[in-house]
Structure 1
């Protein structure tokens, strides 16, 4: 990513990189009001924060929606500096409300505003205009991972909308996709990406090594139904059986992903299935991509 001059955004406690979940673009024409979409996003974010099997209650949703509109009022009217609020502004506005439900939501938000998990309570300080942007979430613990994924998804949607408004297509790559489908809220988001964001010039691509976990998701069928292009490399026996049933792969075709070498597999494009062999040439790009221990060892020796 850095070799391509891209922006690497590492989301983790102590990281200098920050994405403000309250960022909003009010100047983009959408089918739905940007403020209404942001309110809906913040409702689902608060639902993640508050937790519980029943989620937010109707009164809690009402006070959150009220507070969201209050903290964006000046920005929507073009008054003041025009800077987007922070999560703490929502927290403080909730504390001003008379309903006890508002205080309950505010108390749950406190950890992420003034508490030890406040990494999303800062203005965005990364270059979002870079041609390629990589968001890294691997440094997050379980308490923050779901929230970070939800905020990242909103960031991606916003970037796609801005690019579409400017006549630009957006290529989105989601690595370790089986992990992203474990959470119901995130999984439903990716179904929407594959169905709806494609209409806004988004080209989504998912990568995973764990086919069994991926196909265990209830949402994967809707995603596969909206996928025109797929590459399969060597697969374990149990995964091959699942794939054969799910994708209708013949025994002969399965032989191309059985004990196959690196760069060999099956390519699916529409109704066409093609076996392929790709001997990737060694050089600078190979050295950047390889994760083979022997390659890394040899590279260390040459240095």
Structure 2
């Protein structure tokens, strides 16, 4: 681990622990723009990610985060971003039946077909799997649901009102042999979960920094919520070309199901075409590698950051990343924010560093966050007093 990784342009990732040179790198200069980060809890992975986000924002990169633990709320506040809390009681909703306006290189028929395939995947996830018969029935019902709203391949998608889940339920209910599917769907349309899905979309992601949090979502619904959010983001990204970073924290949630994992992989593979870097972060290397999509996602990531590891995961990582025994022990004994940074074919031992101001904004230390909040409240009070 002794290469230099100092580029002419890019952002500072940290300091090379062997010779104290700066590790400066531009992920958008590599063959793909993706990264993976593996680290045990408390080893500084969210800190390192927030630092990259903050520095990327300075270089005109838009950033979108899927945040299962409400880690990025303060950062969104501090940088003037938008923070959406997606939960059963939240005011923010995404309608999975929304359709993006077709781009120049695709037809309305392409968009409708691709969205139908995505929706079949979503229903597989929501309903605990579908038999082949149910699969084709759901596919047919989706097309008919769009048709009752006069949405066909000939429609102008900028003038449509997309259907809702309850419209789909009504269409499905009129089909022979649909009883089991309708029954399983009921909790999403009539039960306590109806508030989550059966509403028109009301989130607007036209900001440089967007965070979607699913921390307050029931565990059972987290993969469903992440799938819906990912699709919403993917449609928005394809709409207009900009340099963007999509951060998926605690990505093992996505690896738990075939449909969410395969979707994450398809973004890793197709992101470059849309100027998108995918940053996948996880503490559960075993869960990640056990998915058939785990290794392909790593292979499709030009940047890899390994921070401190636990003895239970180190052997899997040693095999996947071809680590020497020396590198293996370096990762077992690393301090917080220390590890190995791989970029393309080079890798270096790295220490992540932040300036005092950056540290104030990105800290995960609860006492620091509380004192930041207190300072903010006092500042607001003072401003109100002056008005």
Same fold (TM over 0.5): yes
Q: 1:29 to 1:39 in 2, by over 3 A?
A: farther
In 2, the alpha carbon distance for the partners of 1:34 and 1:280 equals 43
Q: 1:246 to 1:30 in 2, by over 3 A?
A: same
Question: 185, 200, 225: which one pairs with 1:148?
Answer: 225
Report SS of the residue matched to 1:27: coil
Alpha-carbon contact 1:86-1:123 (below 8 Å) kept:
yes
Report SS of the residue matched to 1:218: coil
Name 1:60's counterpart in structure 2. 137
Question: 336, 344, 363: which one pairs with 1:290?
Answer: 363
Query: Larger deviation: 194-203 or 180-189?
Result: 194-203
In 2, the alpha carbon distance for the partners of 1:301 and 1:65 equals 50
Alpha-carbon contact 1:160-1:169 (below 8 Å) kept:
no
Report SS of the residue matched to 2:227: helix
Offset of residue 207 of structure 1: 1.1
Alpha-carbon contact 2:97-2:164 (below 8 Å) kept:
yes
The answer as to 2:252 corresponding to 1:178 is yes
Name 1:112's counterpart in structure 2. 188
Name 1:11's counterpart in structure 2. 86
Offset of residue 187 of structure 1: 0.9
Structure 2 counterparts to residues 46-125 of structure 1, below 5 A: 46-52=123-129, 54=131, 56-57=133-134, 59-61=136-138, 63-74=140-151, 77-78=155-156, 82-95=160-173, 97=174, 99-118=175-194, 119-125=196-202
Q: What TM-score, normalized by structure 2, do the two folds share?
A: 0.69
Alpha-carbon contact 1:175-1:207 (below 8 Å) kept:
yes
Deviations 1:161-198 (A, max 9, x none): 112xxx31321000001221111111111111111233
Report SS of the residue matched to 2:141: helix
Alpha-carbon contact 1:181-1:214 (below 8 Å) kept:
yes
Question: 317, 324, 335: which one pairs with 1:261?
Answer: 335
Q: 1:180 to 1:59 in 2, by over 3 A?
A: closer
Alpha-carbon contact 2:142-2:168 (below 8 Å) kept:
no
Query: Larger deviation: 11-20 or 37-46?
Result: 37-46
The answer as to 2:235 corresponding to 1:161 is no
Name 2:64's counterpart in structure 1. none
In 1, the alpha carbon distance for the partners of 2:373 and 2:356 equals 16
Q: Count residues with an aligned counterpart.
A: 297
Report SS of the residue matched to 1:196: helix
Deviations 1:194-219 (A, max 9, x none): 11233222210011222233223222
- CA RMSD after TM alignment: 2.7
In 2, the alpha carbon distance for the partners of 1:182 and 1:215 equals 11
Query: Larger deviation: 219-228 or 22-31?
Result: 22-31
Report SS of the residue matched to 1:15: coil
Deviations 1:238-294 (A, max 9, x none): 3222211110111233343232222322110111011122332223x3123222356
Unpaired runs of 5+ in structure 2?
1-75, 379-387
In 2, the alpha carbon distance for the partners of 1:49 and 1:9 equals 22
Offset of residue 55 of structure 1: 5.8
The answer as to 2:345 corresponding to 1:271 is yes
Question: Structure with the greater relative contact order (CA < 8 A, sep ≥ 6): 1 or 2?
Answer: 2
Structure 2 counterparts to residues 221-260 of structure 1, below 5 A: 221-260=295-334
In 1, the alpha carbon distance for the partners of 2:342 and 2:132 equals 40
Name 2:264's counterpart in structure 1. 190
